[in-house]
Amino acid sequence: MRKRSHRVRAALAGVAATVLGLAGCQAGDGSPTAEGTKARAARPPLWDTSPDSIAAVGDSITRGFDACTVLSDCPEASWATGGDAAVRSLAVRLLGVTGAAERSWNYAVTGARMADLPGQMAQAVARRPELVTVMAGGNDACRTTASAMTPVADFRADFEEAMRTLRSALPKTQVYVSSVPNLKRLWSEGRTNVLGKQVWKLGICPSMLADADDLSSAATLRRETVERRVVEYNKVLEEVCAKDRRCRFDGGAVYDFRFGTDQLSHWDWFHPSKDGQARLAEIAYRKVTAGDR
């Protein structure tokens, strides 16, 4: 009988020790203790929603091409770093007017393709920005012919190289990656304007915009081929970005945005107008300032 009582007391003691051990990890209501919560709170979030400096890389859209005058860059109207009050760029929204002027840099180049991004990224790295914006790929699809478009494998390799260039020097810099716009939708909107179609003949995105009024099966197939390649490029951007914990893809927001005539340049009816640049800035700001994933 005494042996049985001894076993019971030993079992109860074990249960008590287990309960006390759990109590050391949780509060009485089962929630984490103050110490555990404090430890987690002390860890900085992976994504900083208010970076203090910005560098932009990419192509003509980030240079504000045709937003102010015909066939000319207008970086002050850039969605990423411009100071134009009508645009309220991402830099202005995050840093204020003075901060944007002092701590944002635009290394995008009109006509640039993804192969040019590693070089642009190297320039950006020298500024040690806390955020880099990427908008590239349109010119990889906008070639003289559909067959001349950048192969998807090359596009991926070039983007990966650009990310390695950044990460080798700045492992904690954040990256916002914009999807490539829907070029076929831009053709559909712009082809209603006679002046725009004349400007297109000067060589703007011929793989999509050449013979704008040609609706033959061959022309339709050509445009669909370009559109499929844009979708493939966006998949690459998403996949490569997903491998980097400090990279955010826009989820296809720019591709899905329905640019109307008010958002297109009234010089070429293809590139974003100041209104279109402002919409791009809104999308970027929303993505950058969203809470940690």
Domains of the chain: 2-42 (no CATH), 54-288 (3.40.50.1110)
Strand partners, 112: none
Q: Does an H or E element contain 247, and which?
A: strand 247-249
pLDDT at position 39 = 41
Phi, psi of 243 (to 5 degrees): -80, -10
Q: For the chain, where are the alpha helices, taking DSSP H only?
A: 2-23, 34-42, 90-103, 117-125, 138-141, 152-169, 183-190, 194-200, 206-209, 217-242, 253-256, 274-288
Q: What is the dihedral of CA 200, 213, 227, 178, to 10 degrees?
A: 40
pLDDT at position 195 = 87
| Token output for 237 | 């951007």
pLDDT at position 97 = 97
| β pairing state of 247-249 and 131-135 | unpaired
**CA nearest to 248, candidates 180, 177, 181:** 177
SS3 271: coil
Q: Which residue's entry shows tokens 């050509």?
A: 222
pLDDT at position 92 = 98
Burial 128-153 (b: 16+ CB within 10 A, else e): ebbbbbbbbbbbbbbbeebeebbeee
DSSP secondary structure string, 210-234?
TTTT--SHHHHHHHHHHHHHHHHHH
Q: Which residue's entry shows tokens 């991004």?
A: 117
pLDDT tens track, the chain, 293 positions: 444 444 434 443 443 444 334 334 344 444 444 444 444 445 556 899 999 999 999 999 999 999 999 889 999 999 999 999 999 999 999 999 999 999 999 999 999 999 999 999 999 999 999 999 999 999 999 999 999 999 999 999 999 999 999 999 999 999 999 999 999 999 999 998 898 899 899 889 999 999 999 999 999 999 999 999 999 999 999 999 999 999 999 999 999 999 998 999 999 999 999 999 999 999 999 999 998 65
